[in-house]
Amino acid sequence: MKCAGAASAVSLAGLAGCLTDDEGDGGDDYPSDDIQFIIPFSEGGGTDVYAREMGPMLGEELGVNLPIENISGAASLRGTGEMMHSEPDGYTVAAYNPPSTPVSEMVNEQDFDLTEATGLGLFATTPFVIVAHPDYEIEDYDDLIDRYDDGELEIFSGKERGGIDHVMAKVMREEHGINWEEYVGYDGSGPAVEATMSDEVPAAISTDTAAEAAVADDSVDLVCVLASGGSGVFPDEEPVTEQGYEEMDYLVELSRGIYAPPETPDEVVEAWEDALETVMTSEEMEEWSEETGNEIIYDDGAAAEAVVEEAYEQIPDVVDLDDVRDAAD
């Protein structure tokens, strides 16, 4: 449940020698200095996993160092807010995952408008799953629901209260009948999975990416995949929609994107789009995707902005945000 940021650097052997804009103002010679790459979640979560895989290649394409800084807290709004309040010069960017961070902002209204963030591109789609401690020997989603119904289990978990996992948990209680009594929130999927491994909580919502390693070494059991399209990480697991449960894809599938502050110059956007497309279509990233099951895509900055706008248009129509706010207090 810690909110402290942790920093690490994705470094290069050297900077591009032809860059001359020492002022770092996002001008024609962009980039000419290190770019702060904010991950508004803890280390070990899905966003962090992607960033650490593609970060060195992005830095190489951009010709500068790309230090990764994990600034977690406030259901991803702490790190996102730091990006939104930065100068629009292209030297501070953040990776977050609509509808996740938009839902956090809808519940915990901020002094910035995420629909005004400058999209730099999309790099992945990721479904949510549920994992449980192996001692419970939970067979599937039906079994999990039964355990909560009969009172054997009471606590359910995921990312922070007031964030998308908390919203999912409430919708699952209403739509699927998973009658948990208490929701415990952590500052990322990684910490939520770790809490499940230690039996601090019996079960947790997680991205498939963040759960992969723990499932592989039997530290947790995979209970189910929540997105109707299934999971590339866990391709043999049938999604809950095929078991007769209501589809919730508007919540349970993320679009992973990179964003910059409002009014970031076009030349910055173009540089990032070119770099991101090169990296996400590279043989190295395709091999990583095939080996891990982590989906990769490429789409441009306009698409990254569109998924944020869609979240703000769709979520308030299907989720009682006032109820979530009250529950998060």
- CA 60, 63, 64, 66 dihedral sign is negative
DSSP 202-268: SEEEEEHHHHHHHHHTTSSEEEEE-STT--SSSTTSPBGGGGTPPP-HHHHEEEEEEEE-TT--HHH
CA distances from 305 to 164, 197, 296, 302 (A): 19, 36, 18, 5
Are the C-beta atoms of residues 302 and 255 closer than 8 Å to each other? Answer: no
What CATH number was assigned to the domain covering residues 127-251? 3.40.190.10
Q: Which CATH class is domain 6-126+253-328?
A: alpha beta
Domain coordinates in residue numbering, the chain: 6-126+253-328, 127-251
Strand partners, 30: none
pLDDT in tens, the chain (329 residues): 333 344 444 444 333 433 334 444 445 699 999 999 999 999 988 999 999 999 999 999 999 999 999 999 998 999 999 999 999 999 999 999 999 999 999 999 999 999 999 999 999 999 999 999 999 999 999 999 999 999 999 999 999 999 999 999 999 999 999 999 999 999 889 999 999 999 999 999 999 999 999 999 999 999 999 999 999 999 999 999 999 999 999 999 999 999 999 999 999 999 999 999 999 999 999 999 999 999 999 999 999 999 999 999 999 998 899 988 888 87
**pLDDT at residue 253, as a whole number:** 95
Rounded to whole angstroms, the Cα distance separating 128 from 257 reads: 16
Which of 177, 197, 75, 180 has its CA nearest to residue 136? Answer: 197
